[in-house]
């Protein structure tokens, strides 16, 4: 397929352009993998049909068609198309684009401004879009791989609709490969297993699958068919899509944490290995495992914290690659441990009570009285030393008098906390008996 938006070029030069560029769709209905947006009943198709195109933020992984769709929208809506990148543009560039858009508007034509990597603009630069969006000078289409909620101004988000682009699945990547084979007029020289492996390596990125296919065609001799091993040698290995400072980092650690909380050791190990494979700092993972031990297991299995701390120390001592096994062991241990957030909830409730009740004086009977004045004020009067009481339990009240007795910690009938629950119930019974 040809690119509607490419400038004219000498005969024979088109075939030298990258395959992904030559296969750019010519209409929205040709876009693969984004049927929820570009299909017959898709959001963008309905906008075009109604003639009401508003400003939008395209949010999605690389290689899902954000730039292509923006170009197609401008063509199908009859808008002038301007494209800038937030990486290479500044305030002066924006002013030139806005001035040109105003001139077009005076001539009766509106401008679709596509801003790639829009999250790279700072807050002030993002605010500069607001006046020209509001007066209709431009229709803004911003593209970002990062979560707009965290990276874009609230004022900008309130004026633009966020549309999510999905990673390509196996079906849409296979469709792209078939289009490539039709364009090249020859099959991809891979056996079935190698073809499936190539699709997996693309990791949901349409541009990547076409680039990998192009590398395979370049490497193949006439009549040669590659298996998986040969494919890996030819294209090496594409790094996982993972930015340790951005969404990929937070998404995977969230998946790991929730898999542990959900007592699924297999899923937890999978996400642990994905993070390690992508180059995450193992000590970061170790710290997060410690956090999981205290938040989601707590006293249901007190050994969880001990084992996670030991795994962190073991990695620190052994380094890679041996130390990763200690992290894996801790991960499996806490995923299979009984779960309780009773201490976590008790801590939050006690913190809330501490803030709400101010600086209340503890009951005087549990305060030390090192001076005669303090003794005369009733400090330490009536205190009963628990070790001298029956069952080593006095049952006295230790909360401030104005606050009254509170209950923060409520252990469930799981794991070690089952035994703690029995003790607490017994002490409560003794407290009622001894205090009437």
Stretch 99-124: mean pLDDT, rounded? 92
For residue 12, the model assigns a pLDDT of 52
Residues in the chain: 436
Say which residue, 331 or 88, is predicted with more confidence. 331
- Check pLDDT > 80 for residue 185: yes
135 & 26 share domain:
yes
For residue 2, the model assigns a pLDDT of 35
- Check pLDDT > 60 for residue 337: yes
- Check pLDDT > 80 for residue 11: no
Rounded to the nearest integer, the mean pLDDT of the chain is: 89
396 & 371 share domain:
yes
Query: Each residue of 385-394: pLDDT tens digit?
Result: 999 999 999 9
151 & 19 share domain:
yes
207 & 262 share domain:
no
51 & 135 share domain:
yes
The C-alpha atoms of residue 355 and residue 362 are separated, in whole angstroms, by: 15
For residue 3, the model assigns a pLDDT of 39
- Check pLDDT > 50 for residue 5: no
69 & 159 share domain:
yes
Instruction: Determine the structural domain holding residue 218 and report its residue range.
Output: 170-235
The C-alpha atoms of residue 316 and residue 310 are separated, in whole angstroms, by: 10
Say which residue, 149 or 260, is predicted with more confidence. 260
Residue 171 — pLDDT band, cuts 50, 70, 90? very high
Query: Each residue of 17-48: pLDDT tens digit?
Result: 888 888 888 888 889 999 999 988 899 999 99
For residue 150, the model assigns a pLDDT of 82
Q: Is residue 202 part of a domain?
A: yes
Say which residue, 416 or 277, is predicted with more confidence. 416
For residue 211, the model assigns a pLDDT of 92
Number of domains in the chain: 4
Q: Is residue 7 part of a domain?
A: no
- Check pLDDT > 50 for residue 183: yes
Query: Each residue of 238-286: pLDDT tens digit?
Result: 545 555 555 567 788 999 999 999 999 999 999 999 888 877 889 999 9
Q: What is the pTM of this model?
A: 0.63
152 & 67 share domain:
yes
140 & 70 share domain:
yes
95 & 141 share domain:
yes
75 & 143 share domain:
yes
For residue 315, the model assigns a pLDDT of 92
Domain CATH code at residue 211: 1.10.8
For residue 15, the model assigns a pLDDT of 56
């Amino acid at each position: 397929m040809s690119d509607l938006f490419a400038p004219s070029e000498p005969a024979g030069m088109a075939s030298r352009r990258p395959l992904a560029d030559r296969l750019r769709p010519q209409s929205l209905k040709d876009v693969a993998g984004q049927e929820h947006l570009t299909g017959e009943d898709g959001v963008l198709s309905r906008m075009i049909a109604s003639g009401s195109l508003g400003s939008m933020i395209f949010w999605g992984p690389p290689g899902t068609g954000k730039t292509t769709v923006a170009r197609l929208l401008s063509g199908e809506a009859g808008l002038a198309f301007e494209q800038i990148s937030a990486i290479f543009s500044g305030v002066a560039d924006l002013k030139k684009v806005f001035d040109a858009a105003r001139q077009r508007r005076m001539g009766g034509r509106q401008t679709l401004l596509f801003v790639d990597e829009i999250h790279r603009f700072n807050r002030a630069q993002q605010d500069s879009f607001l006046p020209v969006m509001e007066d209709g000078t431009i229709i803004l289409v911003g593209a970002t791989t990062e979560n707009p909620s965290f990276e874009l101004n609230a004022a900008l988000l309130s004026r633009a609709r966020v549309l999510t682009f999905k990673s390509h699945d196996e079906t849409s990547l296979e469709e792209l490969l078939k289009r490539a084979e039709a364009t090249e007029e020859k099959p991809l020289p891979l056996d079935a297993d190698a073809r499936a492996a190539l699709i997996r390596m693309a990791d949901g990125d349409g541009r990547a699958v076409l680039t990998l296919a192009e590398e395979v065609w370049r490497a193949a001799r006439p009549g040669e068919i590659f298996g998986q091993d040969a494919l890996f040698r030819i294209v090496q290995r594409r790094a996982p899509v993972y930015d340790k400072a951005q969404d990929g980092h937070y998404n995977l650690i969230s998946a790991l944490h929730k898999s542990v909380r959900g007592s699924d050791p297999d899923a937890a190990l999978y996400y642990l290995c994905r993070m390690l494979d992508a180059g995450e700092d193992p000590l970061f993972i170790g710290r997060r495992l410690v956090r999981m031990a205290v938040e989601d297991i707590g006293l249901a299995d007190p050994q969880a914290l001990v084992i996670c701390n030991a795994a962190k120390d073991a990695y620190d001592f052994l380094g890679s690659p041996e130390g990763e096994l200690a992290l894996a062991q801790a991960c499996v241990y806490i995923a299979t441990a009984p779960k309780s957030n009773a201490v976590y909830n008790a801590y939050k409730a006690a913190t809330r009570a501490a803030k709400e009740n101010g600086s209340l004086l503890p009951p005087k009977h549990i305060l030390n009285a090192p001076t005669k004045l303090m003794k005369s004020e009733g400090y330490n009067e009536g205190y009963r030393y628990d070790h001298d009481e029956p069952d080593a339990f006095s049952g006295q009240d230790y909360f401030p008098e104005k606050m009254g007795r509170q209950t923060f910690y409520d252990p469930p009938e799981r794991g070690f906390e089952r035994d703690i629950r029995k003790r607490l119930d017994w002490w409560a019974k003794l407290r009622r008996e001894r205090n009437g």
